[in-house]
Amino acid sequence: MRTLFFSDVHGNLEALEAVLGDASKRRYDAAVCLGDTVGYSADPEECVRIVSKLPRCSAVLGNHDAALLDARLRTYLNPAAQAGVRYAERALSPESLEYLKSLPLSIESEDGYVATHSSPYRPEEWFYVLEPMEVRDAMRVMTRPVAFIGHTHYAAVHDRSGAMTQLLPGVPIVFHPGEKYIVNAGSVGQPRDGDPRSAYVIYDDEARSAEVFRVGYDVDAAAMKILLAGLPAMLADRIRRGC
């Protein structure tokens, strides 16, 4: 089974279409969206509609998705993120809102993985996984050998030691029996690792390996949409810089 993992679309339609088009050429059997389909960019309705109707695709709730559904959670977001959530709130159809409401915080698969947006440790609190202590907390509660997450917008893998290694295209991760790993799929719509190209991961449970892929898209078109929507200009600049 080959599973496509993608995260943090954040309303960036051009990026989402580029990822799905590129991934289809590499063959996958199922897909998992790791949350935050909305926020930051100008096409939240279109992105939610695509994800919700993507064949054999499951999804988890992200913190921006949750803040859209519960205004009390918006106080934890910075002003630019709050602006993106308010924009999505106006843009989403009732059908898309119901879809987001239906999403779980985590998925546990018989294919050997758990999927969450943030840390598997208390996912409702949206903890990041960056430091060794955060890795240890997450691994302590993992019921599967591999966890796929998003949230940081940085494609990386963490092993039991707590070390973080950036995921690079063309360098597959091989999962060794008896070990645990946390794989961050990076971001489709707003990468923050210095590479403006969208990131996604394909996991092969038979080969016990995963690989990150990067794909370019029409960043200028997506950035112009952000500006025309009246969203903060720094969000347009951020997708151009990839950080």
State which H helix or E strand residue 13 sits in.
helix 13-26
Backbone phi, then psi, for 212, in 5-degree steps?
-90, 145
pLDDT tens digits along 7-60: 999 999 999 999 999 999 999 999 999 999 999 999 999 999 999 999 999 999
| Inter-helix orientation angle 79-91/44-53, to 10° | 70
Residue 199 burial (CB count, 10 A):
29
Residue 66 burial (CB count, 10 A):
23
CATH number of 2-241: 3.60.21.10
**Rounded to an integer, what is the distance from CA 103 to the centroid of its chain?**
14
- Cα–Cα distance between 204 and 190 in angstroms, integer? 25
pLDDT tens digits along 198-225: 999 999 999 999 999 999 999 999 999 9
Domain borders along the chain are 2-241
Token pair 């990386």 is at which residue? 156
Rg (CA), the chain: 16
pLDDT tens digits along 218-240: 999 999 999 999 999 999 999 99
Give this prediction's pTM. 0.97
Looking at residue 142, what is its pLDDT? Answer: 97
User: Do 51 and 60 touch, CB atoms closer than 8 A?
Assistant: no
What is the token pair recorded at 60? 């988890």
